[in-house]
Structure 1
Amino acid sequence: MKIRIEPAGLEFAALPGQTVLRAAQDAGIDLPTSCRNGTCRTCMCRMHEGGAVRYAIEWPGLLREEKEEGWILPCVAEPLTDLRLHIPQAIDLFGD
């Protein structure tokens, strides 16, 4: 799956079963994170319409309303489709 981070325009791919956070790290992109298990909400970001994820844990630290509004937790979210995410704090560590 292809993932695009806005507003920086960073793009990377995620392998099947790989979380958004792990795919970003493998691509040299630093995203906000802390617990890495879906509870602290440090990585919480908004997914643009049309994207879909599944979670590596049964119930991540999001309210049902937040999920409906497009909020996700990249540390435990595995993409099911190409994604466009709004993460202003994302940093390209490779500087490409």
Structure 2
Amino acid sequence: MNDLHETDILTKVTKYNLIRAGRMLHIDIHEALHGQLAGKFVAVPNLISIVAKQEYQGVGETEAQALSDCLVKIKDVAIEKMMPTHKNRAEGEES
């Protein structure tokens, strides 16, 4: 991938939707095509413009493993708790 910078990260994304308590939670599975992620596949719960805290993201050697790891981490967690607080987002902190 000669058109990318060495530090760029390019991912292929597969999307899942989880409906919980009448609300939609998106889970994007990222597969690194260029650059490095926390694992070969990373599952990232999100509300489109708000990404879940890293502790609720799943990692695995396959898409299925990353999704399973994520689902285990979020099983008993309210959607609001997964997301960074408004204060942290405003300050630009990573949660």
Q: Normalising by the residue count of structure 2, what TM-score does the alignment of the two structures yield?
A: 0.31
Which structure has more strand as a fraction of its residues?
2
TM-score (norm: length of structure 1): 0.31
Question: Larger % of helix: which?
Answer: 2
Whichever of the two has the greater Rg, that structure is 2
